[in-house]
Structure 1
Amino acid sequence: MSDGSQRDPQSRGGTAGRAGWAVGVLGVLALLLGLPWAARGRLPEPVATHWAGTHPDGSTSLTAAALFPAAVWAVAAAVATGARWHGGAQARLWSAVGLAFGGALLTGAQTSIVSANLDHPSWQEARSPDIGVALSLLAAVSAGLAAWRLTPHGDPGPRATTAADGPRLELPAGRRAVWISRAVNPWLGLLAAVAGLGAAGSALAAFAGLGGPAWALTAPLVVVGLAGAGCSSVRARVTERGLTVAFGPLGLLSRHWAPEEIASARAEQRTPAQVGGWGYRLSGLGTTVMLRRGECLVIRPRTGADFAVSADDAERGAALLNAVIAHRNT
């Protein structure tokens, strides 16, 4: 038994997905232009932009140093955006990977140049940016790998049309079954992206030496970004080992219930108003991971309160989980 509940990632994100893409593109552009502008009173004119070993051997005007990487980014973003919205799954994948890698590399290089020139009377006295360049490459590779991990690698298969006739599935002897459903709240993802971009900007400014207060702004933005990311998506998986619910796009945090820990499972319609809002909520109904109104998979543990999670095709997931529970009890 396989999951047929996943939808096309393009339709799942909708307007918020396009908004998140725009926030990323415009945010990187703002960093490329804003870092030199914010430090203009502490930079020489022109600034060092090329080094032979540890010694600067090339310079350009501050205006050009800001506009050139911004222009490169604008062209790259335009190409990637065209591939994302008009290409297939592989085009979407590689446009996301390339844009994440390029954005991190360009912002890291710009930060390194600003930091190397900061508070020096002439470009010939600029420091070596070796450490900044190494960190930029590391950040670019990490960003590319994260985009590879988060972007679907292929078009989803056809949506299954069969459903369970009752609260329990009859599984043939020896047959293994799995049910997987993923729910996404693109607006919480957008909040995480905005907060993460703000945290990156303030951290880059602080790293470049533009002021200690930037570090104080980084911490709360990181907290908001991580909280938003953790609540922006959820994946529920039912196998013969029970139910596992993984949180966030990377699924690094998860909860697991073995079949013997669950009394029963059911599908139920719930709304944010019933459970007190969006995200991970505690209410009189128990714990609910509310990403969108509507269908939820609900389990009743043998000890403790009910647990519910937003999930497409929740009735079939509950039916399979009940079958697994019944099989363990026989």
Structure 2
Amino acid sequence: MTGQARRNGAALGAAGWGLGVLSLLTAMPLAASGRLPDRLATHWDSGSGRPDGSMPLWAAALFPALIWGVLAFVVVVALRRTGARAGGGIPGWAAAGLGSGGVMLLGGQASVVRANLDRVRWQEAGSVTGGVVGTLVLAAAVGAAGLLAARRAPGAHRPASSGPDMEIPAGQRIVWLARASNSWLQALAALTGLLALAIVVSVLAGLTGLPFLLAAAPFALACVLVLTCSSVRTRVSEEGLDVAFGPFGWPARHWAAQEIESARVESRTPAQVGGWGYRLSGLGTTVMLRGGECLVIHTLKGKEFAVSVDDAERGAALLNSLRTRHSG
């Protein structure tokens, strides 16, 4: 997948996250309006823990959404000023900011709604301390995850001669890096993740019972599995071939150079291998993220593994050269 396509996929995921957070922030208090007082407690005294400030229901619904809109606008402006990352994805600071900011606002809104639920007056609202502490911890974890995912993203591959084989000068180490992603799979992961998040937030806000939390499990599992199969990073070096999946580069597969009998380039389509993602078929194992050029290895055990990445010919040439060096 080209850098432009990766940028489009990242932008699509960021837009989906932004709209999802915005919808949940406004929908939570409105959905519970029948069980809330006319004014909602929105501020608590740090000493006594009692509510000492309030807002009308409509303001409590729109104010966090306004904060979220300002945060998203600032991030977009900063991205336009600094330029896109070479790899085509969202920079780590932007992913961390949007991720942790969205979680913090959602957790705060859920805590406010839960504290005011089934109260006659806003002065009777319960405490939000537990919810706020849990939200801060989760927001910090999400921010750290965004930074970690960005740090694991590879840079551009180093140039090397093209062809089925290449000569590597003695003492020189060459590394080939490639990345591929599928924006539609990433969008599906974002959708299932937002559905799981909506269920969790509704439970935290007290809008649904705790047993309803089990309904989030299938969506959360689907989100993790689809996200893991939606992108891949491939690395060829003296140690052999490494293929890492998902934004965090885990799970990963490794083949030592001496385990590979040959490497080649082959054009494959999703129809040939049975669909998208991690596929098992008569052609062996294929990581199919886009139809077309694939790097294919044939191991000494007689198994084949293919991954759809750009510039696969260069990776195959380097693998064949490394195999020849080790066998010699």
State the TM-score, normalized to the length of structure 2: 0.89
Q: Is 1:99 the counterpart of 2:105 in the alignment?
A: no
Deviation (angstroms), 1:14: 5.1
Contact 1:241/1:259 (8 A) holds in 2? yes
Q: Deviations over 1:248-274 (max 9, x none)?
A: 011121111112322111111111111
Q: Is 1:109 the counterpart of 2:101 in the alignment?
A: no
For 2:160 and 2:259, the matched residues in 1 are separated by 28
- Aligned with residue 27 of structure 1, among 13, 20, 23: 20
Paired residue for 2:287? 289
For 2:75 and 2:118, the matched residues in 1 are separated by 37
- Aligned with residue 279 of structure 1, among 277, 280, 299: 277
Gapped runs of 5+ residues in structure 1? Answer: 1-5
Paired amino acid for 1:22: A
* SS across alignment from 2:263: strand
Q: Deviations over 1:67-107 (max 9, x none)?
A: 111112122222322333454147x6344432223212111
Contact 2:158/2:177 (8 A) holds in 1? no
- Aligned with residue 167 of structure 2, among 166, 170, 173: 170
Paired residue for 1:3? none
- After superposition, residues 1-330 of structure 1 pair within 5 angstroms as 8=3, 11-13=4-6, 15-53=8-46, 54-85=49-80, 87-89=82-84, 93=91, 94-151=93-150, 163-165=161-163, 167-212=164-209, 214-330=212-328
Paired amino acid for 1:124: Q
Q: Deviations over 1:170-217 (max 9, x none)?
A: 212222221111111111111111111111111111122211364133
Paired amino acid for 2:165: R
Paired amino acid for 1:322: N
Paired amino acid for 2:14: W
For 1:320 and 1:109, the matched residues in 2 are separated by 52
Root mean square deviation, CA, Å:
2.5
For 1:155 and 1:269, the matched residues in 2 are separated by 24
Flag the 1:250–1:231 CA change in 2: closer, same or farther, 3 A: same
* SS across alignment from 2:229: helix
* Number of residue equivalences: 321
Percent identity between the two aligned chains: 50
For 1:81 and 1:197, the matched residues in 2 are separated by 21
* SS across alignment from 2:316: helix
For 1:85 and 1:215, the matched residues in 2 are separated by 39
For 2:300 and 2:237, the matched residues in 1 are separated by 19
For 1:44 and 1:88, the matched residues in 2 are separated by 47
* SS across alignment from 1:238: strand
Flag the 1:256–1:151 CA change in 2: closer, same or farther, 3 A: closer
Tell me whether 69-78 or 26-35 shows the greater mean CA deviation.
69-78
Flag the 1:146–1:182 CA change in 2: closer, same or farther, 3 A: same
Deviation (angstroms), 1:142: 2.3
For 1:263 and 1:291, the matched residues in 2 are separated by 25
* SS across alignment from 1:255: strand
* SS across alignment from 1:256: strand
For 2:258 and 2:159, the matched residues in 1 are separated by 30
Q: Deviations over 1:102-125 (max 9, x none)?
A: 212111110111122222332222
State the TM-score, normalized to the length of structure 1: 0.89
